[in-house]
Structure 1
Amino acid sequence: MAYEFWIGARYAGLARGRKRRGGRSDRFVSFIAGSSMAGIALGVAALIVVLSVMNGFQKQVRDRMLSVLPHIELIVRNADHQQVLDHWKTLAQKAQINPAVIGSAPYVAGQGMLVRSNQLTGVQVRGIDPEQESRVSELAQQMVMGRLENLKPGSFGIVLGEQLAGMLRVSTGDTIMVMAPQGSISPAGFSPRMRQFTVTGVFSSGYYEYDATLAFVNVDDAARVFRDVGNSGVRLRIKDMQKAPQVAREIANVVPSYVFVSDWTENNRTWFAAVQTEKRMMFLILALIVAVAAFNLLSSLVMAVKDKQSDIAILRTLGATPREIARIFLVQGALIGVVGTLLGVGLGMLIAYNIDVIVPFIENLMGRKFLPQQIYFISELPSDPQLDDITVIAVVSLLLSFLATLYPSWRASKLQPAQVLRHD
């Protein structure tokens, strides 16, 4: 195998060989081998970078969502919110029997309208207990103006998302009107319930959709405004967010039947399913780059066999068997595939782990942002290289490379030395 490996490495451009008579070297074969290697490396690197960015995007959006949202919710629909709040600790105690639950807090949620001057904006209003909220979310750490503790019962204070506050052009101390869907009917028509609130703080989760559509008030104030519309119940936080569906099923078996148990994966199922589908499609599309590179490898090996016919004939006359000839070109193609894959993995990981430096540099150089926050929810390009993805990409690349070597190697083994030397 030693001479077969050495000749295959030489044809792949990875080992030096003597120049031919007349001074012509193997530069042409080395060039096409190098181009095939570069094609495989670029394809593998592109796959790693794109999938890492998609993983990072999913992880960052998920973490920002769950910094505001609970892992699990125990929901009582369209009930007397004050009655639910009076007994929320009983529900929380039943849920905390499960060792995975590490925090609980009451809530009241309802849809409403915010009115400021001539502006009208639809929002989701959530009533929270500031003292308990830190057990289930990171809202207190996300305050950019004011403090969450300022949401005292009966004060009718409200905390707005940063984008929402900007749209309404309000700051701390300003007043806005909150309209609830519940109202009264009079001879003059339907009159929605309205209540004036004072802005006591502004938060920024980094997730545009929430920063533009969420408002927080004290849970008692929310119960008064929404009464028997909307939902109320208990929000839970667990040790491992990935186990939320399993923990939710376990909790559903111990709480009353009128309590609906929902976890974060179910509440955002459509979004995460879309991201997973997009990731699979991007893998298939970008895998075509590696497939094209493998086809290029096949073409280069066919050209190498054509160029090396005289060498093959001489080796056959010296006693080399067809299998040994085939192994020479198998080694050549395998080395190109392995080296190209390793270079691609190295380049892809280098870019994926430093994309937080590379992208801002390119943005500053071009003077434009690649990710408008209003469209992509986040303003920075994240990256999360995962070993499973990198392994799959490397295996697919190596498999395609090895398959591309079979036909040229078979063709080389079938060459007849007499016919080749007759025309050389």
Structure 2
Amino acid sequence: MLLSAFISKRFRAYSGHHQETNGFVSFIAKASTIGILLGVAVLIVALSVINGFEQQLVHRLLSVVPQVEYVAPSRPIANWSAKVERLQQQPNVMGAAPFIAVNGMAQFKDQLKAVEVRGVEPSLEGNVSAINQFTSAKLVSQLGIDEVVLGKQIVTQLDAALGDTITLLIPKISEKGHSLLAPQRISLTLAGIIEMGGPLDSSAAFIHLNKAQQALGYDDTQVTGLRLRVDDVFSAHNIALRVGQSIEDYVYISSWFRTQGSLYQDIQMVRTIVYIVVFLIIAVASFNIVSSLVMEVREKQGNIAILKTMGAQDSTILATFVMQGLTQAFVGVLLGSIIGVVLAINISELFNWLSQLFGENPLAGVYFIEFLPSKLVWQDIVITVIVTFVLAVLATIYPAWQATRVDPAKVLGN
């Protein structure tokens, strides 16, 4: 192996000093190295962005949106406090809280905005939601009975400010449920603003549970639904079905898979597509090594013949040209990994800079976040490096084997 490494190094040094005789071979070798470099860098950056989106989905979106909900389709759920206590005792349940959800309108002066009004119990909402992390001024857990917390985009559209009086128009259904009555008008003080950087900013309006009960004519024990936070968000649907059996009320069972499941599936699909496409790019670049090595074997037939007459074994010749190909792959993988890691670490700042430069954010209003997240996972880099080297080894086997078949008598005779 040491002899093969020495000969491989001498071959590379010879090629470097005689570019005029084998310039095309050198060009193909460099092209394959650059192709591997770009493929590795792109794969690392792409996977880091996908991991970032998945991380933000779990820690940002799924920490705020309901993971599991039990919603009453007709009559409200009574005696919610006892049922919340019962749900909190179930396995895999980290927290439970009541809520009243209804679509309504927010009005300030002559401006109107459609909102999803959500009546919550401030003392329990923190058990099921991390909304307090994204709320400025007064938190949802500190919400007073005559106060409201609105999303940032709602506040911007209404041209309101903290301390202003916001009017909520909440529809009320007749007792028989066949017609809508005149909407309830509730005047509340804007006490907090949600700044999550996603769709919640344009739709959420949080009010005190007692205020929502008064608006809909419920008593203090009635709510429209119960919400859970579970210990494993990816098992939320199965947990919801099992835990829901402890509720005697007729309810609809809903998990985040129904509301946000398509987004998670899209992330996984994009991950698969990126793996396939970029590994194909790396495979093409790796098999360019075949072309460069085949031409190099043909060009160095005389050297190979001389080595054989001096007693070099076939395994030595084979290892020499395998190392030639692996050296090209190593340079591409090393530089690609460095470039990919640097870009992955700084991709968020680079994206923000480009957005400011062009004055447009392509993620605004499209995804649940308005920035480009990145999470570097070292296992992805290891897998990328291993697969690339495996492809490089496969690419070098045929031309290296061809080098062992050189007949010294024929070559030196000519």
- Regarding TM over 0.5, the answer is yes
Contact 1:371 1:378 (8 Å CA) reproduced:
no
The answer on 1:203 being equivalent to 2:199 is: no
Question: How far did 1:118 drift?
Answer: 5.1
CA separation of 1:267/1:256 partners in 2, compared to 1, >3 Å: closer, same or farther? farther
Contact 2:99 2:120 (8 Å CA) reproduced:
yes
Task: Determine which of 162, 166, 189 is the counterpart of 2:156.
Answer: 166
Tell me how many residue pairs correspond in the alignment. Answer: 408
CA separation of 1:197/1:100 partners in 2, compared to 1, >3 Å: closer, same or farther? same
Contact 1:183 1:191 (8 Å CA) reproduced:
yes
Moved more, 255-264 or 209-218: 255-264
CA separation of 1:320/1:99 partners in 2, compared to 1, >3 Å: closer, same or farther? same
Question: How far did 1:146 drift?
Answer: 4.1
Alignment of 1:117-266 (within 5 A): 119-148=111-140, 151-153=143-145, 155=146, 157-171=147-161, 172-180=163-171, 182=173, 192-226=182-216, 232-256=224-248, 258-266=250-258
Distance between the aligned counterparts of 1:399 and 1:310, measured in 2?
A: 30
Contact 1:10 1:17 (8 Å CA) reproduced:
yes
Q: What is the TM-score when the length of structure 2 is the normalising length?
A: 0.85
Distance between the aligned counterparts of 1:19 and 1:333, measured in 2?
A: 16
Question: How far did 1:89 drift?
Answer: 2.1
Question: How far did 1:249 drift?
Answer: 4.1
Q: Which residue of 1 aligns with 2:44?
A: 48
Question: How far did 1:401 drift?
Answer: 1.2
Quote the sequence identity (%): 32
CA separation of 1:370/1:412 partners in 2, compared to 1, >3 Å: closer, same or farther? farther
Q: Which residue of 2 aligns with 1:79?
A: 75
Letter in 2 for 1:398: F
Moved more, 340-349 or 101-110: 340-349
Question: How far did 1:184 drift?
Answer: 9.8
Distance between the aligned counterparts of 1:23 and 1:400, measured in 2?
A: 27
Unaligned runs of 5+ in 2: none
Q: Which residue of 1 aligns with 2:65?
A: 69
The answer on 1:274 being equivalent to 2:279 is: no
Distance between the aligned counterparts of 2:170 and 2:327, measured in 1?
A: 70
Question: How far did 1:52 drift?
Answer: 0.3
Q: Which residue of 2 aligns with 1:293?
A: 285
Unaligned runs of 5+ in 1: none
Letter in 2 for 1:384: K
Distance between the aligned counterparts of 1:190 and 1:262, measured in 2?
A: 26
Q: Which residue of 2 aligns with 1:417?
A: 408
* Offset from partner CA, 1:284-308 (integer Å, 9 cap, x none): 2222321231132222212221221
CA separation of 1:388/1:75 partners in 2, compared to 1, >3 Å: closer, same or farther? farther
The answer on 1:319 being equivalent to 2:315 is: no
Q: Which residue of 2 aligns with 1:303?
A: 295
CA separation of 1:220/1:18 partners in 2, compared to 1, >3 Å: closer, same or farther? closer
* Offset from partner CA, 1:92-143 (integer Å, 9 cap, x none): 2222223533322210112223345554433222110112212222333433
Task: Determine which of 104, 107, 114 is the counterpart of 1:112.
Answer: 104
Q: Which residue of 2 aligns with 1:399?
A: 390
* Offset from partner CA, 1:276-335 (integer Å, 9 cap, x none): 112211222222321231132222212221221211121222233444423321222123
* Offset from partner CA, 1:210-254 (integer Å, 9 cap, x none): 1001111222222344469x9822222234444534533442343
Letter in 1 for 2:93: V
Moved more, 264-273 or 31-40: 31-40
| Secondary structure in structure 1 of the residue aligned to 2:306 | helix
| Secondary structure in structure 2 of the residue aligned to 1:234 | strand
Letter in 1 for 2:39: G
Contact 1:128 1:217 (8 Å CA) reproduced:
yes
Q: Which residue of 1 aligns with 2:6?
A: 6
Question: How far did 1:91 drift?
Answer: 1.7
Letter in 2 for 1:406: I
| Secondary structure in structure 2 of the residue aligned to 1:98 | coil
Contact 2:102 2:170 (8 Å CA) reproduced:
no
Contact 2:108 2:165 (8 Å CA) reproduced:
no
Task: Determine which of 8, 26, 32 is the counterpart of 1:36.
Answer: 32
